[in-house]
Structure 1
Amino acid sequence: MMRTRAALLAAAATALLVSACGTTENPAETPAPSDAAPSGPVTVTDSRGKAVELKAPARKVVALEWGEAEMLASLGVMPAGVADTKGYATWVTAVKLDPGVQDVGTRGEPSVDSVVALQPDLVVMNEGRAGTLVTQLEQYVPVLVTKGTDAKDNLGRMRSDLNMIAQAVGKTAEAEKLLADFDAALADGKKKIADAGAAGQQFAIADGWKEGSTVSIRMFGQGALVSQLGIQLGLKNAWTGAVDEQWGLGQTDVEGLTVLKGQDVHFFYNASDGDDVFVDGLAGNAIWKSLPFVQQNKLHKMPDGIWTFGGPLSGQQYVDQLVKVYAA
């Protein structure tokens, strides 16, 4: 990635908490384009309540956040530009970007000049990255602002964001298919877990980073998107600590994990860039070694590249991994 893991995750955690990251054995296929693509003017009301007017469904689109880039590509509209394409390739495998997709800067500070130089029909970004950047971009190109996250209903928010983007690019039929496949995967996964007698068992999901000798841990609480996936499968999130209202994320350290005392807790974590603080950073830590899920070998590193803030296809990757563990 463009920065070290510690710097990236620390900055991400701060930004998320103040303003509020594998493959499956059978990856979902990208929906085929509609036989009759819509044409003519399109008006889409975005998360700001603003009517974004387009002369025709957008075909050349720039995405400034990975979740929105994934959604576009899964709808069959490969973005012309994406913020931090190298990072996307590391953390998102649900839909790969074409080699010709242009990097338009970092997610935190995309380059307005690089975006405008591509002459896109539309720029898609989320509320958390907006600010004055929207005003700058709208001097040159229409901007669609998604909600990006909502800890009150992140699954509903994901559906809404996908449908909004689909309307702007004329791919509503493709969005319907993506969501139907997603719902089918959830229903099938829930049944498999129930049939295995694992309904109601607990999970915890986290990522982390190390600075010096200090390991910081970011917990995915009740309102986080991946947590809501687990709950929809009939499982229970064991982390009940404080979380922010936008992302459903909480901050703790290894001592804070001692609240995860349940004998049925499985602990899932991400380390897609190879810096595994849970195995390497805590290997000699007595508190870590005393935790039930460590002693019982219920510690699960997610396959590299399952994005925790993605769309339906990343969501299905998470579902696959949870079902693999609980329905085994």
Structure 2
Amino acid sequence: MKRRVFVAACALATLAGRASASPSPRVIVLSWDLAEMLLSLGLAPVGLPAPAWYTSGIVEPPLPLGVVDIGLLFQPNYDLLYELRPNLIVATPAHASVRASFEHIAPTLTLGEYMTAREPYRAMRGEALALGARIGRPAQAAALLDRTDAVIAQARDTLHGAHAPLIVAEAIDERHLRIYGAGSMFDEILQLLGLVNAATRAGLVTNRANVVEMERVAQMSDASLLWIGRDGSAALQRNPVWRQMPFAQPHRQATLPMISSTGALVSVQRFARALALAVPSLAAGHDM
């Protein structure tokens, strides 16, 4: 009899626990970079503009199947927004003019100021904590920061003594490159890892990227190139001037995975890990 009472009590306690546990919030995100932040806290959005762009441009954490495509970043389908019954909409400062419309559907949280901050990495840490608190996952946010600190520390140890200057770039065409200077997330992480950003040294200051002519890059001839997402040398190799530049040689270039320059903490982790793999081989080639 006592055992039956005990079992029944345990069952009631379990049911009570389930009843009292609040369901996960239904969140719509109007930014691929902020969708990364949400996913890194263990919660998938119910709706996101053009999910395929997230998959190709952000990559990780992977976006689950079933996330509803709600239209364009700045012209979402409002009927879908209503139908998804969100508890929260996460927007960016660029959505300020339509925020009132979102508020009619669900409480709206504006994040993403880190993307234009002077120190984006430090700013995104605060935003991750703010999002974690808002969706009831403060412990997950704190753990995410701890994991990021550990990845950066490990990469810094691996890269100790690597002093060759670097250019983080994407090729636009056979005459132009997009390079990331001071104020970009890439530059801030390079600094944290004790690496030299040749673009910053050359005075290129931006909160995102500069599109520059090849001749401007020629002033950084002692640097090695890190291509983001794809090898940019194919288009540039058609230009004879480029082929004469020291860093146009294969041993002075490396291709990193696709990493968003405005991504959140998982992007930071991926960039740090990619540098730890690529830079030692570039440093060896730099001495050839």
What TM bracket, shorter-length normalisation?
0.7 to 0.9
Helix, strand or coil for the counterpart of 1:133? helix
* Residue 313 (structure 1) aligned with residue 273 (structure 2): no
Q: What does the per-residue CA deviation read over 1:198-242, in whole Å, with 9 as the maximum and x for residues that have no partner?
A: 1x33111122434xxx65422211110111111110001100344
Aligned counterpart for 2:227 among listed residues 269, 272, 275:
269
Q: Which AA in structure 1 matches 2:99?
A: V
Quote the offset at 1:327 in angstroms. 3.5
Quote the offset at 1:302 in angstroms. 1.6
Residue matched to 2:214: 254
Q: Which AA in structure 2 matches 1:290?
A: Q
Q: Which AA in structure 1 matches 2:261?
A: T
Residue matched to 1:209: 172
Provide the rounded CA distance (Å) in 2 between the counterparts of 1:283 and 1:130.
Answer: 41
Aligned counterpart for 2:179 among listed residues 206, 212, 219:
219
Helix, strand or coil for the counterpart of 1:68? helix
Change (3 A) 1:104 1:216: farther
Q: Which AA in structure 2 matches 1:203?
A: L
Change (3 A) 1:167 1:225: same
| TM-score w.r.t. length of structure 1 | 0.73
CA contact (8 A) 2:168 2:179 kept: yes
Q: What does the per-residue CA deviation read over 1:49-85, in whole Å, with 9 as the maximum and x for residues that have no partner?
A: xxxxxxx897100111111101111101111011220
Quote the offset at 1:315 in angstroms. 1.0
Aligned-pair identity in percent equals 26
Q: What does the per-residue CA deviation read over 1:276-323, in whole Å, with 9 as the maximum and x for residues that have no partner?
A: 6x23321211222122221252222222x3222212211111111111
Q: Which AA in structure 1 matches 2:57?
A: W
Provide the rounded CA distance (Å) in 1 between the counterparts of 2:123 and 2:180.
Answer: 17
RMSD: 2.4
Bigger-Rg structure (1/2): 2
In the TM superposition, 1:40-51 aligns within 5 A as none
Provide the rounded CA distance (Å) in 2 between the counterparts of 1:266 and 1:110.
Answer: 41
Change (3 A) 1:148 1:114: farther
Structure with higher RCO (Cα < 8 A, 6+ apart): 1
CA contact (8 A) 1:57 1:170 kept: no
Q: What does the per-residue CA deviation read over 1:83-122, in whole Å, with 9 as the maximum and x for residues that have no partner?
A: 2201111112220111100111223433333323211111
Residue matched to 2:69: 103
CA contact (8 A) 1:134 1:143 kept: yes
Quote the offset at 1:183 in angstroms. 0.5
Provide the rounded CA distance (Å) in 1 between the counterparts of 2:79 and 2:170.
Answer: 33
Residue matched to 2:10: none
Provide the rounded CA distance (Å) in 1 between the counterparts of 2:83 and 2:242.
Answer: 50
Q: Which AA in structure 2 matches 1:68?
A: L
Aligned counterpart for 2:205 among listed residues 238, 243, 246:
243
Aligned counterpart for 1:286 among listed residues 216, 221, 240:
240
Residue matched to 2:109: 144
Helix, strand or coil for the counterpart of 1:269? strand
Residue matched to 1:117: 83
Unaligned runs of 5+ in 1: 1-35, 41-55
Quote the offset at 1:158 in angstroms. 1.0
Helix, strand or coil for the counterpart of 1:107? coil
Residue matched to 2:255: 301
Provide the rounded CA distance (Å) in 1 between the counterparts of 2:80 and 2:212.
Answer: 38
In the TM superposition, 1:24-43 aligns within 5 A as none
CA contact (8 A) 2:51 2:69 kept: yes
Instruction: Count residues with an aligned counterpart.
Output: 261
Helix, strand or coil for the counterpart of 1:297? helix
In the TM superposition, 1:192-207 aligns within 5 A as 192-194=158-160, 197-198=161-162, 200-207=163-170
Provide the rounded CA distance (Å) in 2 between the counterparts of 1:326 and 1:208.
Answer: 19
Unaligned runs of 5+ in 2: 1-16, 282-288
